[in-house]
Structure 1
Amino acid sequence: MKSVKPYPTEEELPLIETLNEIDFSASYSYADYMRFAFNERLEIIKGHLFKMSLAPSRIHQEILTNIFGPIYNILKGKQCRVYTAPFDVRLAKKTYSDREVFTVVQPDIVVIFDPEKLDKRGCIVAPDIVVEILSPGNNKKELINKYEVYEEAGVKEYWIVSSTEKTFFRYILDEKGKFQPTKLLTAGAEVTTPIMPGFSLDLEDVFKD
């Protein structure tokens, strides 16, 4: 009987040195993602590659800091963790095998209550809270593609912040595992959540420049 050659290990697979070697029509896994040796940042959503901005705007970074700070302060001293991009979130489904993980994203901010969801390379399943700060050019990806994978993975709250419109919008996962939209908030409103007791976010402070 003819023997079947085993799939190469990560060490045997060659690195992908330049973006020109990427076939954006092909399907990629986290095992492929680990072979990327170029500077350009990519995310994988259901096997499809998406380019990321190399340098977010100053306003984007200001908003990120203004959201991260209050979250960090309320979680300080607890087992919960909060991270900012670049930080890999692998949304594994049936198996944690690198070759079977087809969604790898880098949200602007992630909050993780259970440290068992973490390993040395990032987060392996759904974070509890995901924050995406929209920038020109990436709105479609965040609002459509990521909405679907975050809902399917079981992210409890998905926050969408617009740096240009200065708005805050949140989806909350219901008991049936479906996202429910909430009221659009603007500067001056306050954000609280029952899954993070004591937390309060003043959107006037978030959008100040």
Structure 2
Amino acid sequence: MNLYRNDRVSVQDYFEIRENCEQLLEYIDEYIYMSPSHSIKHQRISGNLYIKFREFLEEKTCEVFHAPVDIELKNEKIDRTTIVIPDLCIICDKNGFTDSKYIGVPNLIVEILSPSNQTHDLITKLNLYMNYGVQEYWIVNPMLNSVSIYALNEEKLYIQHDMKTEIGKITSHFLKGFHVDLKDIFQDNI
């Protein structure tokens, strides 16, 4: 993920820039980040995971969303505006929905790495999501056909819950009973 501009901007400036820009832009720590275009591999993986989550969540109160959907992270302990566009997210508290975005903290977020955004998703977003209280964070690496899952522990810190590469079933800590075989995520890539 690259910086759209190298200077800090207000949230009002961010919204003005978004109005006149067709790129996906996120707002983190007063900086604007530009999402890379999604590759075909990225789209396939996202679609495969979306289907698995949606099937599992059928007739449950939680709902899965795929990009682009704006998530304005909101936590009473953090006094700043942060807007992200995760690849996938699962939301169980429906109170934060507006016509154009979700305001609050998704229960589960999935980010799919691309060569240009690895550091951003592996460090910046991992810490961001942990600090805001996202209960589970999935990092999907299409280059290695791997999935790493981080879950909040009692101290509100991420611990690695599960990690698989190439083969095996990955399990969710938050979604009790949910598991998916890596071959079903990366079926067109393995």
TM-score, scaled relative to structure 1: 0.80
| Aligned equivalent of 1:16 | none
| Aligned equivalent of 1:66 | 48
Whichever of the two has the greater Rg, that structure is 1
Among candidates 98, 117, 134, match of residue 96 of structure 2: 117
CA contact (8 A) 1:95 1:101 kept: no
CA contact (8 A) 1:90 1:101 kept: no
In the alignment, structure 1 residue 142 sits paired with structure 2 residue 121: yes
Distance (Å, rounded) in 1 between the aligned partners of 2:58 and 2:76: 33
Among candidates 35, 42, 46, match of residue 29 of structure 2: 46
The CA deviation at 1:88 is: 0.5
| Aligned equivalent of 1:89 | 71
Among candidates 18, 32, 42, match of residue 13 of structure 2: 32
Distance (Å, rounded) in 1 between the aligned partners of 2:6 and 2:67: 23
Unaligned runs of 5+ in 1: 1-21
The CA deviation at 1:163 is: 0.7
Distance 1:143 1:28, change over 3 A: farther
Among candidates 163, 166, 173, match of residue 187 of structure 1: 166
RMSD: 2.0
CA contact (8 A) 2:144 2:166 kept: no
Distance (Å, rounded) in 2 between the aligned partners of 1:162 and 1:195: 20
Unaligned runs of 5+ in 2: none
Distance (Å, rounded) in 1 between the aligned partners of 2:171 and 2:64: 16
CA contact (8 A) 2:162 2:170 kept: no
Distance 1:194 1:171, change over 3 A: closer
The CA deviation at 1:60 is: 0.5
| Alignment: residue pair count | 183
TM-score, scaled relative to structure 2: 0.88
Distance (Å, rounded) in 1 between the aligned partners of 2:91 and 2:180: 18
Which of 72-81 and 124-133 deviates more? Answer: 72-81
1:43-89 superposed Cα distances (whole Å, 9 cap, x missing partner): 11121111111x31000011111111010011123331110010111
Distance (Å, rounded) in 2 between the aligned partners of 1:122 and 1:197: 27
Partner amino acid, structure 2, of 1:63: I
1:121-169 superposed Cα distances (whole Å, 9 cap, x missing partner): 2221111000000001100111111111101100000000001111110
Partner SS for 1:158: strand
Partner amino acid, structure 1, of 2:13: D
CA contact (8 A) 2:68 2:87 kept: yes
1:2-24 superposed Cα distances (whole Å, 9 cap, x missing partner): xxxxxxxxxxxxxxxxxxxx753
CA contact (8 A) 1:72 1:82 kept: yes
Distance 1:23 1:164, change over 3 A: closer
Distance (Å, rounded) in 2 between the aligned partners of 1:131 and 1:191: 13
Distance 1:190 1:150, change over 3 A: same
Partner SS for 2:144: coil
